[in-house]
């Protein structure tokens, strides 16, 4: 195989003149640069096209919107209309995060420090499989299987710990509440949080760990004194990446949640919350005209929120170059 290399090699040798960036070399470099620039262009295009299609809704008066969008209440600005959706989106994502982060850290520590070395790759791949399962299947499973199983537990929480702000209200008898959605979303974002945290934990300087061991620390003490402090910013950014995922998840929410448009913390009750992504997917097929523009405006809001969260997360990661191998 390598012999085929020689003819062009000869030619390039002939015109060696200090500047190697000539002929096809230059073309190839520009192709590569062009591909890189394409990424930036695509991201810009996403923003631009969303803005251009959302523009009619952004500039429309509340009266026009109320007339053109079926769900739109009278005398409401677009921001006030999207408010409950943003609230629902953030609530779902935060719930998922609260449930997922402790478990994900446990898994990451298990894989990086507890499991046998030989197994750790396989176990990591198993956790990653959770991310590979299509969200529509999470939706099917959540609706048909998980929600009925969780309902008695939610009822119990409501009856015994109903004083806690999140567990008040009337429990949904079907389990199709924000709490169930939070559990499913937590499962869905486990892999990304685990993957990033795992990488960070693995990069703990061996010397730190060995120093702790030399001082007679138990395995947990090593983790508490050496691994966790070192990985803190990594875990924070991993959580934010998970948050970004949870914010944008569509199908699982669409299929499980019983939607509503209110500001309330009663996560066990039905018909209270809706997320932006599920709202778009639910209403898009039967929308026309200004309705579509309004949905795209909601999508733009989601885009801005996730962009902000992801950029912050990546910025935190990038500040510590050691973690650049993560995810």
Partner 1 sequence: MSVTTQNPGRGSSETARLLSTVDPGRRRTDRVMQVLIYIAFGLAMIPLGWLIFTVVAQGADRISLDFLFQSMRNIFGGDPRGGIYHAILGTVVITALATVISVPIGILTAIYLVEYGKGWLARSVTFFVDVMTGIPSIVAGLFAFSLFALIFGPAVRIGVMGAVALSVLMIPVVVRSCEEMLKLVPNELREASYALGVPKWLTIVKVVLRTSVAGLTTGVLLAIARVIGETAPLLVTVGVTDSINANAFDGRMMTLPVFAYRQYSQGNAPCPGGDTATCVSDIASQNAWGAALVLIAMVLALNLIGRLITRWFAPKLG
Partner 2 sequence: MERLVNLSRFTRAGSAVAVGALALSLAACGSDPEPAGSTGDETTEASEDMEGGLSGTLSGGGASSQEAAMNAWRAGFQQANPDATVNYDPVGSGGGRTGFGDGSYKFAGSDAALDDEELAAAEAQCGEGGVIEFPGYVSPVAVAFNLEGVDSLNMGPETIANIFLGEITSWDDEAIAADNPDADLPSTPITVVHRSDESGTTENFEEYLYTVAPDIWTAEPSGVWPVDGQESAQGTSGVVGAAQAGEGTITYADASQVGDLGTVAVGVGGDFVEYSAEAAAEVVAQSPRTEGTSEYVYTIDLDRDIAGTYPIVLVSYSLACTTYDDEETAELVKGFLGYVASEEGQQAASDAAGSAPLSDTIRQAIMPGIESISAG
Q: Which of residues 238-257 bind partner 1 (CB under 8 A)?
A: 241, 244-245, 247-251, 254-255
Does 260 help bind partner 2 (rule: CB under 8 A)?
Answer: yes
Provide the phi-psi class of 271: left if phi over 0, else alpha when psi is between -120 and 50, else beta.
left
Does 174 help bind partner 1 (rule: CB under 8 A)?
Answer: no
> Which of 5-18 are b and which e, b meaning 16 or more Cβ less than 10 Å from the residue's Cβ?
eeeeeeeeeeeeee
For partner 1, the binding residues in 258-297 under the rule CB under 8 A are 277, 280-281, 284-285, 288, 292, 295-296
Q: Which two tokens stand for residue 55?
A: 């523009």
Does 211 help bind partner 1 (rule: CB under 8 A)?
Answer: no
Stretch that binds partner 1, among 166-174, 200-208, 216-224, 263-271 (CB under 8 A): 216-224
Query: What is the per-residue binding string for partner 2 in 164-203, x denoting contact by CB under 8 A?
Result: ------x-xxxxx---------------------------
Question: In this complex, which beta carbon is closest to partner 1, that of residue 32 or of residue 161?
Answer: 32
What is the rounded CA–CA span in Å between residue 269 and residue 181? 12
Query: What is the per-residue binding string for partner 1 in 127-166, x denoting contact by CB under 8 A?
Result: xxxxxxxxxxxxxxx-xxx---------------------
What is the rounded CA–CA span in Å between residue 112 and residue 124? 9
Provide the CB-side half-sphere exposure for 176 (13 A, CA). Answer: 18
Question: In this complex, which beta carbon is closest to partner 2, that of residue 17 or of residue 288?
Answer: 288
Within 142-177, residue ranges assigned H as helices are 147-161
Please say whether the beta carbons of 256 and 181 come within 8 A.
yes
Q: Is the dihedral of CA 278, 283, 284, 289 positive or negative?
A: negative
Task: Please report, as ranges, the residues that interact with partner 2 according to CB under 8 A.
Answer: 1, 70-71, 143, 147-148, 170, 172-176, 254, 258-262, 264, 269-272, 282-283, 285-289
């Amino acid at each position: 195989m390598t012999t085929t290399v020689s003819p062009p090699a000869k030619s390039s040798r002939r015109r060696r003149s200090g500047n190697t960036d000539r002929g096809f070399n230059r073309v190839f470099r520009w192709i590569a640069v062009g591909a890189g620039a394409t990424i930036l262009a695509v991201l810009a295009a996403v923003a631009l096209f969303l803005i251009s299609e959302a523009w009619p809704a952004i500039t429309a008066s509340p009266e026009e919107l109320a007339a053109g969008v079926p769900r739109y209440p009278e005398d409401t600005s677009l921001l006030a209309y999207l408010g409950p959706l943003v609230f629902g989106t953030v609530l779902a994502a935060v719930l998922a995060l609260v449930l997922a982060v402790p478990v994900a850290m446990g898994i990451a520590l298990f894989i990086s420090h507890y499991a046998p070395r030989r197994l750790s790759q396989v176990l990591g791949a198993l956790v990653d499989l959770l991310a590979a399962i299509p969200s529509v299947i999470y939706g099917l499973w959540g609706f048909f299987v998980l929600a009925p199983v969780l309902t008695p537990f939610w009822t119990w929480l409501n009856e015994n710990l109903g004083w806690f702000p999140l567990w008040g209200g009337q429990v949904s008898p079907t389990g199709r509440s924000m709490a169930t959605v939070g559990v499913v979303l937590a499962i869905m974002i486990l892999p990304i949080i685990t993957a990033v945290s795992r990488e960070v934990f693995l990069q703990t300087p061996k010397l730190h760990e060995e120093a702790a061991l030399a001082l007679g620390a138990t395995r947990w003490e090593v983790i508490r004194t050496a691994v966790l402090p070192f990985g803190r910013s990594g875990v924070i950014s991993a959580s934010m990446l998970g948050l970004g995922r949870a914010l944008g998840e569509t199908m699982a929410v669409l299929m499980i949640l019983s939607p509503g448009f209110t500001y309330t913390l009663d996560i066990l009750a039905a018909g209270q919350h809706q997320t932006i992504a599920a709202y778009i997917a639910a209403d898009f097929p039967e929308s026309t005209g200004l309705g579509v523009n309004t949905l795209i405006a909601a999508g733009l809001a989601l885009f801005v929120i996730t962009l902000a969260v992801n950029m912050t997360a990546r910025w935190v990661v990038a500040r510590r170059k050691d973690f650049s191998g993560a995810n």
